[in-house]
Amino acid sequence: MHQLTLAEIVRGLQDKQFSSEELTGALLARIADVDTRLNSFISVTGDLAIADAKAADARRAKGESDPLLGAPIAHKDLFCTEGVLTTCGSKILHNFKAPYDATVVAKLKEAGAVSLGKLNMDEFAMGSANESSHFGPVKNPWDTERVPGGSSGGSAAAVAARLIPAATGTDTGGSIRQPAALTNLTGIKPTYGRVSRWGMIAYASSLDQGGPMARTAEDCALLLGAMAGFDPKDSTSIDQPVDDYLAVLAQPLAGLRIGLPKEYFGAGLDPRIADKVMAVVEELKKLGATVKDISLPNLQHAIPAYYVIAPAEASSNLSRFDGVRFGYRCEDPKDLMDLYKRSRAEGFGDEVKRRIMVGTYALSAGYYDAYYLKAQKIRRLIKNDFVSAFEGVDVILGPTTPNLAWKLGEKGGDPVSAYLEDIYTITANLAGIPGLSMPAGFVDGLPVGVQLLGNYFQEGRLLNVAHQYQQVTDWHQQAPSGF
Ligand code: GLN
């Protein structure tokens, strides 16, 4: 049963081939059996899941027919879940039970989806390898000596190893797309404002966006349809109707205009990944797409701009973790200042501290203009590059990552080399446009992802292209051996 995709599960539940309770029980047993090898879950909420599964079965028996009714999922541990541990991968929240559900969690609950637990992640979503979690690193099911990507590494490993059919993730600079690429999944970061950030613990508020991770584009469409929508509780949420993502999947690709940015194929890209990307282009041409060379001239400035803006916002967002209101508190504080200092010193890990320091520096008087303001100007140039590119093409295609999944610990002492891995993903967050990563083959037994970027609110188009590609290829169906 664990091999089924989310769409197959939906059909199985509809046709009464199995109940949600049976399915949930089977998956929980498998998680208990297998996750010791991966460390993808921080909390498994078995009793709650079985109760929710029974409730979903009862709703179905009464005639309700929401497609996700009884479908098992799990949430990145950055989404607040009422009464359930919500750690954000950090010691500072190791004992935090959220008092309310994030909008995404509430919407999926309402649709009848059953959450099996909370998934491991880089501390406060800062990272590309899931090695900065207080709860230990996550292993990549394709090679357990390698990283699964990050920061949604728990979501990626759990779905890739078939512990759950789909999961939520969040993406501030690539944290849905990059782990999806390194574990052979499909994942989409929607347009900024499409999915509510209410109850998503903030990393960099102007970049953060939640989205689905699954094996197929169809599964992502199913989940995104339930996650997306206007939320008055999030002031950056956009009041625009949600497209029917399932309905657009079948649209033919004839006439699709694909842009290939020349800057995406320069130095730094593993040539074996470049070959896979070009093979995808050839396949899409056979489906009727046309291809055009384009330029995104400000790509070279993206990493420096992102690594000023994201830490600046993080330094402000993370000031709320003070040892007073919630979370970890140091023992025997001498006075209030000592309590603040030691709770934060003991509660945050190294990468989080590094970013708080960089961000505080960039925002301080005297440096604000030189760093933060300049980074914001670059951000606008990057956005403008996309606006002009989308005048001539429908989607932009390229690699999701410059390299394959690396060995655990390999980049530990070198944060900048990890930051460079984000080169192809962060621009979508800086501009606010949607981006999708899909499986595109293997090099040395490790998955390769291809990224599709679209204009604002073109999630449907990206899912459509990925779905059509998945009708003529079977990369996305490959499973890691041993899982
Ligand atoms: N790797 C990037 C970072 O560390 C992106 C993380 C994310 O998208 N949450 O900031």
Residues carrying an active site annotation = 76, 151, 175
- Of 209, 274, 284, the closest CA to residue 459 belongs to 209
* Closest protein CA for atom 4 of ligand 1: 127
Residue 143 lies in a domain: yes
Residue 207 lies in a domain: yes
Percent of the chain topping pLDDT 90 = 98
Question: What does pTM read for this prediction?
Answer: 0.98
Residue 230 lies in a domain: yes
Residue 70 has a pLDDT of: 98
Domain tally for the chain? 1
Per-residue pLDDT of 37-95, as tens digits, reads 999 999 999 999 999 999 999 999 999 999 999 999 999 999 999 999 999 999 999 99
State which of 123, 172, 189, 437 you would mutate to test the pocket of ligand 1, scoring each by most atoms of that ligand within 8 A of its C-beta: 172
| Residue 175 CA, ligand 1 centroid: distance in Å | 5
State which of 120, 123, 126 you would mutate to test the pocket of ligand 1, scoring each by most atoms of that ligand within 8 A of its C-beta: 126
Residue 417 lies in a domain: no
Tokens of 472: 């003529």
Residue 312 lies in a domain: no
Tokens of 88: 């954000």
Domain with 194 in it: 6-255
Q: What is the CATH number of the domain that holds 157?
A: 3.90.1300.10
| Residue 87 CA, ligand 1 centroid: distance in Å | 17
| Residue 172 CA, ligand 1 centroid: distance in Å | 5
- Of 453, 142, 421, the closest CA to residue 302 belongs to 421
Residue 469 has a pLDDT of: 98
- Cα→Cα distances 270→21, 264, 273, 288, Å: 45, 11, 5, 28
Q: At CA 422, angle to CA 418 and CA 428, rounded to 5? A: 160
Residue 36 lies in a domain: yes
Per-residue pLDDT of 25-38, as tens digits, reads 999 999 999 999 99
Helix locations, 229-373, DSSP H: 271-286, 302-317, 336-347, 350-363
Residues near 309 by Cβ (< 8 Å), separated by ≥ 6?
204, 206, 207, 372, 375, 376, 379, 430
Q: Is the pLDDT at 412 greater than 90, yes or no?
A: no
Residue 122 lies in a domain: yes
Residue 413 has a pLDDT of: 80
Residue 419 lies in a domain: no
